[in-house]
A and B are shown apart, each in its own frame.
Chain A
Amino acid sequence: MSASSTADAPFVAKTKVGRFTDFVDERVGGSGILREFGRKVFPDHWSFMFGEVALYSFVILLMSGTFLTFFFDPSMAETHYQGSYTPLYNVEMSVAYNSSLNISFDVRGGLFFRQVHHWAALLFVASLGVHMLRVFFTGAFRKPREMNWVVGGVLLILAMAAGFTGYSLPDDLLSGNGLRIIDGVIKSIPVIGTYISFFLFGGEFPGTAIIGRLYVLHILLVPALILLMIVIHLFMVVVHKHTQYPGPGRNDGNVVGYPLGPVYAAKAGGFFFIVFGVVALMAAAFTINPIWNYGPYDPSPVSAGTQPDWYIGFVDGALRLMPGVVNDFHFEYVVFGHTLTLNVLLPALVPAGIIFTVLFTYPWIERWITKDNREHHVLDRPRNAPTRTAIGVAGFTWYCVMWAAAGSDLIATHFHVALNDVTYWLRALFFIGPVIAFVVTKRVALALQRKDREIALHGRETGRIVRLPHGEFIEVHAPLDDYKQYKLVGFESPAPLPAEPNEHGVVTRKEKRRAALSKWFFEDRVAPATPAEVEAAHGHGHHEAIEGADQKSLSH
């Protein structure tokens, strides 16, 4: 394109970088892209960075993982360890475990890269989780971003799959017992469970095939899918442009922030190095997955504290919480001559199923309830959507109960309580925890809204105490400036939407259900202060500048 302006004076770039860019552009025509992206605006907020943390963790995973593949051998053939870690010298083990030990003890920097890889993996899934929580609580999943929310959910599942397949590769005692649990869960699937197990392991557990198969999934298929999803995810971010928090000057028609070049690009680019540095720091000073402690996989031993990595923990916790027998009622029974083992099947599939079903369908559920079909680019502050926030916290609490259950034995030993009691308590919390969380969160959100309203009406508390002539003490409230005030009042507070008849003039039962849900969603609400209300609040405070505060202090 730059060549098109050659009518009288040929275009000459000012800098070397410019000349190089021109050289490439003449051959691939990238200036259109640069023109589109070079100054693209990105809003700046710390909570917007978790997606980047996940992306950068993934890049670190690719780099450190590539290094590890050069030394790792995914064979389950038997060998005797001859490396330099003496407490395992000459112990019979698989080639896979042997090569993992060699990476840890006999390859320079191997242990460091193993630890970088594993810490980055934990951080990858954790930052994905936090990113999704941020998106949920701010309502960023709403139109037009529902599909990208789904892509994010798929990425979360893929990240868990990548983590689990990697966790199993060293073929140590811990991961072997993890695989055995997976095998037990698979076998509980009706009709096809036994076949799936035999196909996965190439015969009976543990067989000699599984590590090689997981290796292919771990280094090829799953990362390729993750990469594909990341590309789709980022493409949609570009199409939609980033959301922004509400505030003065920000609306659904614009995006306020820093241009990509140079400020945002520098910050985002620099942030990659920061994430890498933090991961390196963890890998330098903190052991992760000490496979040399666990020993080679052998079906007979097991270690106390056998747990999966944190992101699979909630499934393991659900398995722990489910009672197998309740008052002589066995959750395993024989139907038509076949064994149905609900004590495994239910906890393994149902909680994860519920969590992911709700996660994937939530944008549509909320859209159906609210009938809100507009595009949203300005986020909700979590307090301004109390019901959604409460749903999110309730779900997260439920997840955390199961998560905690995966560490029930460690909770017992470290807080000096009985293991059985921990399980009983968590079983109770499994049911009532989300309810309590919902109610409390909703009340807290409404209270915060009321506080905002209070501040918008009467100004902020200055902490300055004044004694009035008649002896009363009051605190002086300072009025807000326009920008701060707009932040507190510039949000929508939808009212319940009653049932509406359809085109035939009939109010369907579905519509009634929707209306009931809408009522539940928006019934408890605090509307933003209007200019008239603020005027009134100031009005009766005018002749005595501090009377508003006076009243406030009285009302407490």
Chain B
Amino acid sequence: MGNHSDGSPNHSGTVATAGQNDVEKFQDPGLPPHRLRLADTDPKAAKRAERQVAILFGVSIVGTLIFLGAYFAIDLGNDSTIATIRNQNLLLGLGTAFAMLGIGTGIVHWAKALMPDHEVSEERHAIRTEEDRQAAVRIVDDIVEETGIKRRPLIRNTLLGAVALAPLPAIAVFGDLGPRPDDKLAHTMWAPKEGKLKRLTRDPDGTPIKASDVTIGSAFHVIPEGLNELHEGKLNEKAKAVVLLMRLNPDSLKISPGREDWSYNGIVAYSKICTHVGCPVALYEQQTHHLLCPCHQSTFDLTQECKVIFGPASRPLPQLPIAVDAEGYLVATSDFKEPVGPSYWERDEHERLINS
């Protein structure tokens, strides 16, 4: 294109002047001449379009009938199968679709083919006129003047104060939406009750787990003993207490000081609630010993005490200290030593509280 002054930015000097508004521009040639449609000139075509519109409306009538037929003829009794529901759904939907598309396409076809298609030009008017503006300004001035608000600052100031304070009750009444958090997030059901250690039980049926049940490569989804018997707040407790129990070769575990007695023979228990935003981290890869969260892909390395090795989480999963009781069942020797789940403002405070 190099031969032309093609306006390429490399040599925009010539072009920039050409584009200035003082340079002569093309005259608007006005609306293009109107082109007649087939239906405007040929009565046969018009008649044909008319028939087509009528057929489309007819399709709509058929669609409505299909809907009614599917609604009344197909019975969703107690013995209905999924296939019956699927068929009814399909027929109801197709009926509605025909009914609606028939009317819609019919009307549009009618408008396109038979209604006048002359493009019209309408003037735009100024959004406001100067006369209106001045009148409005005068009115506002008069209003302000008549209230006397400028002359009586005492009224104005007390009114402002009253209006500013009036919404406070509206905010205050929401105070009972929920209780204060206090330290509820710091504790879970795993804390021993009256000196009795809680057994690890299977999710969902709540049967206790023996250490010998947990073979290498196993993953047990665990809830605390007694959870299923709760009547109030069962899901609240479950949301904090769920644990994943796994067993791997004891040699592959890197145990940090202070946690030596938290596991049993390669059996370890970790909170299932992601430290990112709280999805259950339940994907256990038994060969790589990785735990993966399906929501945001945080990956934790079980051999390194669930250290974060990938993804958006920033903190390891909390470990539940476990041991075996006299009957060979796995028990939690204490509650988690830190709050479980996503981080929150008071979390560090709570962690210190737990460990004090």
Chain A–chain B contact at Cβ < 8 A: yes
Binding site for B on A (CB under 8 A): 39-41, 84, 104-106, 108-109, 111-112, 115-116, 144, 177, 180-181, 183-185, 187-195, 197-207, 209, 239-241, 248-249, 251-259, 262-263, 266-267, 269-278, 280-281, 283-285, 297-306, 316, 319-325, 330-332, 334, 337-341, 343-344, 347, 375, 377, 408-409, 419-420, 423, 446, 449-450, 453-454, 457, 482-483, 485-486, 489-490, 492-493, 495, 523-528, 530-533, 551-552, 554-556
A307 to chain B minimum Cβ distance, whole angstroms, is: 8
Please determine whether A341 and B311 come into contact, CB atoms closer than 8 angstroms. no
Among the 9-residue stretches B20-28, B39-47, B259-267, the one with 4 or more Cβ atoms under 8 Å from chain A is B20-28
A-B contacts besides A277-B96, A339-B345, 18 pairs, CB < 8 Å: A183-B278, A188-B342, A191-B345, A194-B181, A197-B181, A253-B124, A256-B31, A256-B120, A257-B120, A267-B108, A267-B112, A278-B101, A298-B235, A299-B238, A300-B203, A525-B15, A554-B3, A556-B1
Contacts of B347 in A (CB 8 A): 339
Q: Choose among A319, A330, A490, A523 the residue that contacts B277 (Cβ–Cβ < 8 A).
A: A319
Please determine whether B123 and A254 come into contact, CB atoms closer than 8 angstroms. yes
B42 to chain A minimum Cβ distance, whole angstroms, is: 20
B151 interface residue per 8 A CB criterion: no
Using known A-B contacts A105-B85, A255-B121, determine if residue A187 contacts B100 with beta carbons closer than 8 Å: no
A82 to chain B minimum Cβ distance, whole angstroms, is: 10
B76 interface residue per 8 A CB criterion: yes
Q: Choose among B18, B20, B89 the residue that contacts A112 (Cβ–Cβ < 8 A).
A: B89
A sample of 27 cross-chain residue pairs with beta-carbon separation below 8 angstroms, ordered by A number, consists of A105-B85, A112-B88, A112-B89, A112-B96, A115-B89, A181-B295, A194-B185, A200-B177, A202-B177, A255-B124, A256-B119, A257-B120, A262-B111, A266-B110, A280-B93, A280-B96, A280-B97, A306-B279, A320-B297, A332-B343, A408-B297, A409-B297, A419-B297, A446-B9, A489-B26, A525-B15, A530-B18
Contacts of A285 in B (CB 8 A): 90, 93
Please determine whether B348 and A324 come into contact, CB atoms closer than 8 angstroms. no
A525 to chain B minimum Cβ distance, whole angstroms, is: 7
Please determine whether B96 and A284 come into contact, CB atoms closer than 8 angstroms. yes
A49 to chain B minimum Cβ distance, whole angstroms, is: 11
Using known A-B contacts A199-B177, A525-B12, A551-B3, determine if residue A304 contacts B294 with beta carbons closer than 8 Å: yes
- Closest partner residue, chain A, to B222 (CB atom): A300
| A526, B15: Cα distance in complex, Å | 7
Name, among A185, A194, A297, A408, the residue most crowded by chain B CB atoms within 10 Å (CB to CB): A194
Using known A-B contacts A180-B278, A248-B29, A532-B24, determine if residue A527 contacts B349 with beta carbons closer than 8 Å: no
| A207, B278: Cα distance in complex, Å | 15
Using known A-B contacts A206-B235, A338-B345, A344-B343, determine if residue A302 contacts B107 with beta carbons closer than 8 Å: no
Using known A-B contacts A249-B28, A524-B9, determine if residue A188 contacts B104 with beta carbons closer than 8 Å: no
Please determine whether B28 and A343 come into contact, CB atoms closer than 8 angstroms. no
Name, among A116, A183, A527, A531, the residue most crowded by chain B CB atoms within 10 Å (CB to CB): A527
B289 interface residue per 8 A CB criterion: no
| A322, B85: Cα distance in complex, Å | 43
- Closest partner residue, chain B, to A78 (CB atom): B234
B92 interface residue per 8 A CB criterion: yes
| A192, B8: Cα distance in complex, Å | 56
- Closest partner residue, chain B, to A179 (CB atom): B278
Please determine whether A193 and B179 come into contact, CB atoms closer than 8 angstroms. no
- Closest partner residue, chain B, to A307 (CB atom): B295
Contacts of A207 in B (CB 8 A): 178, 236
Please determine whether A324 and B9 come into contact, CB atoms closer than 8 angstroms. no
Number of B positions contacting A (CB below 8 A): 115
Contacts of A249 in B (CB 8 A): 28-32, 121
- Closest partner residue, chain B, to A104 (CB atom): B85
Contacts of B101 in A (CB 8 A): 273-274, 277-278, 281
B345 to chain A minimum Cβ distance, whole angstroms, is: 5
Contacts of A493 in B (CB 8 A): 19
A482 to chain B minimum Cβ distance, whole angstroms, is: 4
Contacts of B127 in A (CB 8 A): 144, 239-240, 375
Contacts of B7 in A (CB 8 A): 449-450, 453, 525-527
Contacts of B32 in A (CB 8 A): 248-249, 483
- Closest partner residue, chain B, to A204 (CB atom): B236
A246 to chain B minimum Cβ distance, whole angstroms, is: 10
Using known A-B contacts A270-B106, A319-B277, determine if residue A377 contacts B124 with beta carbons closer than 8 Å: yes
| A316, B296: Cα distance in complex, Å | 8
B314 interface residue per 8 A CB criterion: yes
Contacts of A320 in B (CB 8 A): 296-297, 311-312
Using known A-B contacts A193-B345, A409-B294, determine if residue A453 contacts B24 with beta carbons closer than 8 Å: no
Please determine whether B311 and A281 come into contact, CB atoms closer than 8 angstroms. no
Please determine whether A283 and B93 come into contact, CB atoms closer than 8 angstroms. yes
Contacts of A377 in B (CB 8 A): 124
- Closest partner residue, chain B, to A105 (CB atom): B85
Please determine whether A256 and B71 come into contact, CB atoms closer than 8 angstroms. no
